[in-house]
A = this chain, B = another copy of it.
Amino acid sequence: MVESVFMAELSWPEWEARIKAGAVIFLPLGATEQHGPHLPLNVDVILPTAIAEAVARGLGGLVAPTLQYGYKSMPRSGGGQSFPGTASLDAATFSHTIRDVIRDMGMHGARRFVLINGHFENAWPSVEGLDLALRDLRAEGIRDVTAMRLEYWDFVKAGTLARIFPDGFPGTELEHASLVETSLMLRIRPDLVDLARIPQEGRASFPPYDIHPPPPGYLRESGVLADARGSSREIGEWLFNDHVEMITAAVRREFPGMRP
């Protein structure tokens, strides 16, 4: 058996031993969602999984299997559900998946979880899923489970953002399939990036409201919301390092007693 940071590659006695020794479970929350013509549908699976892997490796934790399907894409942050290939879950389905998985591992002794979200729209339903999991565990008499929940992109140094966006960071929401995600993909899975297909349109601009169903012209045709031009592996490296370093520090702070 390999020594692995991915719990799925362990046998059950190995998993049990690791949990008894206090291992934190990292659960990456992904999605299958359009990311423009130059990126694959699994960007939101690959990025949080890679970050979770690096953090877990440093802390002696375990990465649970990444959720492959996420909550529905929204036009202002992900392009919306109308792009072919985006395959999403209803909110209840997504929340219940998290509830069930956390509850089961909690029933088996896991007490510390970190949910690492890689898809903007997963944020809220993952909060709900976690709340339902803890409620169910309390009903089983288990009251000492603690869970962190975070979006990886919130862990970045001001200096890094300033270097990448000398004119100011346009904000997380528009970063869908744009410079940040493209650069991270160039760092982690460059074989899945087709730089030649990066749209040349510049940033999308949305009115400050949703409209259902999206009227003609509301959606960006390419599915890219900001500008992916200028993406590079080097930028990806800066971001990836920030994410791993800062998430590691946060986990260490909240869950003391981890491997130094």
Residue of B nearest to A134 (CB): B212
Minimum CB distance partner of A83 in chain B: B12
A3 to B95 alpha-carbon distance, docked (Å): 33
- 186-224 of chain A: CB within 8 A of chain B: 191-194, 197, 207-213, 215, 223
Q: Which interface residue of A41, A71, A72, A83 has the most chain B CB atoms within 10 A?
A: A41
Considering residues A125, A131, A223, which has the most beta carbons from chain B within 10 angstroms of its beta carbon? A131
Contact with B along A1-18 (1 / 0, CB 8 A): 110100111111101100
Residues of B within 8 A of A40 (CB): 1, 4, 8-11
> What number of copies of this chain does the assembly contain?
6
Contact of A139 among B15, B139, B151, B212 (CB under 8 A): B139
Determine if A85 and B100 form an interchain contact, defined as CB atoms under 8 angstroms apart: no
Interface residues of A in 131-180 (CB under 8 A from B): 131-132, 134-135, 138-141, 146-151, 154-155
The 5 closest A-B pairs by CB, nearest first: A124-B124, A15-B85, A8-B42, A65-B68, A12-B34
In the assembled complex, 10 residue pairs joining A and B whose CB atoms fall closer than 8 Å, in A order, are A2-B192, A9-B40, A11-B39, A11-B194, A12-B36, A12-B37, A42-B65, A87-B105, A91-B128, A149-B210
A residues sitting closer than 8 Å to B (CB atoms) are: 1-2, 4, 7-13, 15-16, 19, 32, 34-42, 45, 64-69, 71-72, 74, 81, 83-93, 95-97, 99-101, 104-105, 107-109, 121, 123-125, 127-128, 130-132, 134-135, 138-141, 146-151, 154-155, 191-194, 197, 207-213, 215, 223, 250, 253-254
